Amino acid sequence: MKVEQIAIFLENKSGRMADITAILAQNGINIRAMSLADTADFGILRLIVNDTDKARTVLKDSGFTVGTTEVIVVEVGDKPGGLAQVLQVIKDGNLNIEYMYAFTQKSGETGLIIFRFDELDRAIDLLAKAEIRLLSGDEVYAI
């Protein structure tokens, strides 16, 4: 149930996001989810794409610093309290969230929350025992 995500370190200068998305487009790589966090000096762009290995290679070949991490993707009801229910399980399990970001496929149906935990395997076990649906990498890459 782990999903591979790439992280790209960016200087804070104009056009870097355009460069990355153009490289991915030219190589037939589709972005499934993204998050950008920044500081005064640099940003970290996190992406889930349909072909992680190819994305990592073409971005590195273009001079970007690229790493990979594993995350989990949780399905929640797209309604008030959907996220609160999942976060309560996480709280009760005393898990630490390093970061998270979200997207929805179709309003009113389900949302998908991407989590990075400091104890990923324990988080998977805890959420599965609470009958919270975790998506496989293949499911997420195919969205």
Task: Please give the model's pTM, rounded to 2 decimal places.
Answer: 0.88
Residue 53 has pLDDT above 80, yes or no: yes
Q: What mean pLDDT, rounded, does the chain reach?
A: 91
Average pLDDT over residues 37-64: 92
Q: Which CATH architecture group holds 71-141? A: 2-Layer Sandwich (3.30)
Count Cβ atoms within 10 A of the Cβ of residue 127 and give its class: 0-12 exposed, 13-18 middle, 19 or more buried. buried
Which architecture, in CATH terms, is 2-70? 2-Layer Sandwich (3.30)
Mean pLDDT of 67-93: 93
Residue range 81-102: average pLDDT?
94
What would the mean pLDDT of 17-29 be, rounded to a whole number?
Answer: 95
For position 13, what pLDDT does the model report?
A: 79
Calculate mean pLDDT across residues 106-135: 91
Judge whether residue 8 has pLDDT over 70: yes
Q: Mean pLDDT throughout 72-89?
A: 92
Check residue 108 and give its pLDDT.
63
2-70 and 71-141, same CATH topology:
no
Q: How does pLDDT run across 97-112, given as a tens digit for each residue? A: 999 998 877 666 788 9
- If you average pLDDT over residues 74-82, what whole number do you get? 89
Q: What are the boundaries of each domain within the chain?
A: 2-70, 71-141
According to the model, what pLDDT value does residue 15 have?
A: 86
What is the rounded CA–CA span in Å between residue 55 and residue 57?
Answer: 5
